[in-house]
């Protein structure tokens, strides 16, 4: 497969494509052959056959996640980048996530742990995992991910993990499995949409040999970038979820 590329028009609408010989990119403002793009330097200005200007750019991880095909809500870049830092995800890390969804966070984790690390993603929905697998294959990151179509309630096969992230509505029900799979001091994280769920999870963490429990919410305020009218954008989405983090403690006698 070819390299992923970002095409952006003057209206800032973007598309992430996989450059393939013989293929074409179609838009309501014209088409452009992939053969005319392959080999060009990133940042080159190109045009569709109708003369509509586009910029050819290397896509950022943010671009790729925002353009994913999805069947579920994804963890957006403003949260995903912070999750990487809080869980100390770096090349070589071994990470488990539960709740694959459409693969937004899976992609971010895989990009961070390569070339020597591994992400294992659990989900009980095979259709969602197939979409996530397709999304990662599309951007060349599937080689760093193992997909497991099973319920973590039945146990997590991996052990001595660096980190675990649960994107599930009831993560408190799986703290035993998480604790068993994490290395001593390992990083735990979860995202939840409501305060009621956060209270349940924090209460469970306090009695399950986890410490350094933190609850945080990130706000992102984008601005108009035109110099003549610099101001906050009219439409804001401040709340995407509550982030809960903790560290795995070793019980007395272990």
CA dist list (Å): 194 to 26, 131, 191, 199: 40, 27, 9, 9
* pLDDT tens-digit readout, 181-198: 999 999 999 999 999 999
d(CA 10, CA 2): 25
pLDDT band at 252 (very low <50, low <70, confident <90, very high): low
**pLDDT at position 213:** 96
The fold for domain 63-248 equals: Rossmann fold (3.40.50)
Which residue spans of the chain are classified as CATH 3.10.330.20? 4-59
Alpha carbon 67 to chain centroid, angstroms? 12
Question: Any bridge partners for residue 165, and if so which?
Answer: 97, 189
Q: Which CATH architecture has domain 4-59?
A: Roll (3.10)
Whole-prediction pTM value?
Answer: 0.85
Q: Rounded CA gap, 134 and 15, in Å?
A: 17
Q: Are 75 and 103 contacting, i.e. CB atoms less than 8 angstroms apart?
A: no
């Amino acid at each position: 497969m070819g390299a992923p590329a970002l095409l952006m028009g003057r209206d800032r609408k973007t598309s992430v494509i996989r450059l393939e010989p013989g293929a074409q990119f179609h838009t309501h403002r014209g088409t452009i052959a992939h053969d005319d793009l392959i080999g060009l330097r990133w940042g080159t200005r190109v045009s569709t056959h109708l003369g509509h200007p586009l910029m050819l750019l290397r896509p950022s991880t943010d671009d790729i996640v925002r353009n994913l095909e999805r069947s579920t809500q994804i963890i957006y870049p403003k949260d995903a980048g912070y999750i990487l830092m809080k869980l100390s995800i770096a090349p070589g890390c071994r990470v488990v996530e539960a709740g694959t969804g459409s693969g937004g966070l899976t992609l971010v984790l895989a990009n961070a742990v390569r070339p020597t690390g591994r992400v294992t993603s659990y989900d009980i929905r095979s259709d969602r995992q197939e979409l996530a697998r397709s999304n990662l294959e599309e951007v060349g990151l599937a080689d760093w991910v193992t997909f497991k179509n099973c319920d973590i309630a039945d146990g997590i096969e991996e052990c001595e993990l660096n980190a675990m992230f649960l994107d599930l509505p009831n993560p408190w029900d799986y703290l035993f499995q998480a604790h068993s799979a994490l290395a001593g001091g390992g990083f735990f994280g979860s995202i939840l949409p409501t305060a009621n769920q956060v209270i349940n999870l924090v209460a469970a963490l306090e009695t399950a040999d986890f410490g350094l429990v933190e609850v945080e919410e990130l706000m992102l305020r984008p601005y108009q970038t035109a110099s003549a009218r610099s101001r906050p954008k009219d439409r804001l989405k401040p709340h995407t979820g509550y982030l809960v983090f903790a560290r795995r403690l070793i019980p007395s006698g272990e």
